């Protein structure tokens, strides 16, 4: 079983922010994973389901993450990358679906701003953590299985966090994805969760392996006891209203998990306002050309008319 590290890290509140965040995540992820039955890995049979249907097919019985066994996370802690990996599989696996498979949660803190090397290359600052979820090698229960996650979060006051979808014309870091989805806690947000609505069905993350990621609406849900770590208690206080939503990955028409038995999705969690992408130089260049070219043509056309008119009037005056 996982243990929270909080009590051993008494010095953490005075340490740099990334450490605080990593320790917070290492403490809260097991709480999320070992929670009650709403923290689940969902699987749907999308055979004969048309695109855009929600839920995307007939649900199979979900895998409750509370009934998973997890690795000893201490051994996966990488101080160089400030990351730790939780790898788990169902304790009870009568069909052997997870005989060669696992579900992993990689949590990572950052010591400075930047982007990971792999798409969707979410912009991060030193105040955020990334959680990357991967389902690898597990046997699906049908030929057209789509997977999803039920995610539970803490609300703020009586309300669930607000859902916010931002359009972006910039897909340089996540091919063909023009949206950024967020949950914001409060109007001047005290915290956020941010992701691109894309998952990948191959380790080589490219446009061909990109899956759409659909988020359902948030609903208040049953309360859970918070872990007893002093860090977690200090951070979340006595809040105890929980909200849940479903994320589903992929569409019946594919690509899908069935291609390579691989699925990977990532998100950022942080305090305060989420980092905002500014336009990349490539997109600025494209915009300059796209908006600039008609302008130049217009200018060129005007000049041409002006010159013609001038020539014509000179011709007129000569006569």
Ligand X SMILES: *[C@@H]1O[C@H](CO)[C@@H](O)[C@H](O)[C@H]1NC(C)=O
**Contacting positions for ligand X (CB under 6 A):** 42, 47-48, 55, 59, 72, 74-75, 96, 99-100, 139, 142-143, 150, 216, 219, 244-246
Residues 114-126 as b/e (b if ≥16 CB within 10 A, e otherwise) read: eebeebbbbbbbe
CB of 56 to ligand X, least distance (A): 9
Which H/E stretch holds residue 257?
helix 257-260
Identify which of residues 65 and 174 has a Cβ nearer to ligand X in the complex. Answer: 65
CB of 62 to ligand X, least distance (A): 7
Q: How far apart are CA 43 and CA 62, in angstroms?
A: 6
Residues 6+ apart with CB under 8 A from 268: 122, 124, 128, 129, 130, 131, 192, 193, 194, 195, 274, 275
Identify which of residues 119 and 140 has a Cβ nearer to ligand X in the complex. Answer: 140
CB of 150 to ligand X, least distance (A): 5
Residues 46-68 as b/e (b if ≥16 CB within 10 A, e otherwise) read: beebeeeeebbbeeeebbbbeeb
CB 158 within 8 A of CB 241: yes
CB of 127 to ligand X, least distance (A): 28
Identify which of residues 1 and 117 has a Cβ nearer to ligand X in the complex. Answer: 1
CB of 121 to ligand X, least distance (A): 28
Instruction: Decide: helix, strand or coil at residue 94.
Output: coil
CB of 36 to ligand X, least distance (A): 13
Q: How far apart are CA 200 and CA 198, in angstroms?
A: 7
CB 177 within 8 A of CB 198: yes
Identify which of residues 50 and 313 has a Cβ nearer to ligand X in the complex. Answer: 50
CB of 107 to ligand X, least distance (A): 17
Identify which of residues 99 and 206 has a Cβ nearer to ligand X in the complex. Answer: 99
Q: How far apart are CA 98 and CA 69, in angstroms?
A: 12
Identify which of residues 47 and 69 has a Cβ nearer to ligand X in the complex. Answer: 47
Identify which of residues 152 and 198 has a Cβ nearer to ligand X in the complex. Answer: 152
Which phi and psi angles does 41 have, rounded to 5°? -95, 120
């Amino acid at each position: 079983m996982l243990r929270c590290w909080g009590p051993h890290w008494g010095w953490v509140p005075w340490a740099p922010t990334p450490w605080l965040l990593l320790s917070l995540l290492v403490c809260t992820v097991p709480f999320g994973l070992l929670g009650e039955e709403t923290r689940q890995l969902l699987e749907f049979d999308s055979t004969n389901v048309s695109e855009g249907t929600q839920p995307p097919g007939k649900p199979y019985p979900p895998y409750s993450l509370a009934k998973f066994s997890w690795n000893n996370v201490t051994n996966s802690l990488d101080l160089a990358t400030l990351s730790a990996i939780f790898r788990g599989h169902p304790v009870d696996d009568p069909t052997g679906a997870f005989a060669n498979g696992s579900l992993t949660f990689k949590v990572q803190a950052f010591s400075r701003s930047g982007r990971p090397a792999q798409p969707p290359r979410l912009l991060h600052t030193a105040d955020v953590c990334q959680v990357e979820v991967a389902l690898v090698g597990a046997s699906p229960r049908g030929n057209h299985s789509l997977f999803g996650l039920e995610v539970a979060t803490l609300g703020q006051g009586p309300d669930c966090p607000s859902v916010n979808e931002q359009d972006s014309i910039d897909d340089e870091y996540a091919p063909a994805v023009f949206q950024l989805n967020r949950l914001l806690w409060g109007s001047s947000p005290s915290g956020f969760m941010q992701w691109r609505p894309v998952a990948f069905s191959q380790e080589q993350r490219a446009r061909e392996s990109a899956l759409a990621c659909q988020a359902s609406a948030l609903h208040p849900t049953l309360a859970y006891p918070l872990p007893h770590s002093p860090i977690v208690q200090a951070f979340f206080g006595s809040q105890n209203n929980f909200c849940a939503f479903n994320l589903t990955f992929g569409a019946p028409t594919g690509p899908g998990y069935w291609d390579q038995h691989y699925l990977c999705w990532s998100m950022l969690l942080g305090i305060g306002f989420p980092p905002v992408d500014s336009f990349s130089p490539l997109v600025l260049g494209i915009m300059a050309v796209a908006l600039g070219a008609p302008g130049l043509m217009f200018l060129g056309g005007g000049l041409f008319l002006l010159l013609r008119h001038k020539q014509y009037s000179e011709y007129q005056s000569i006569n």
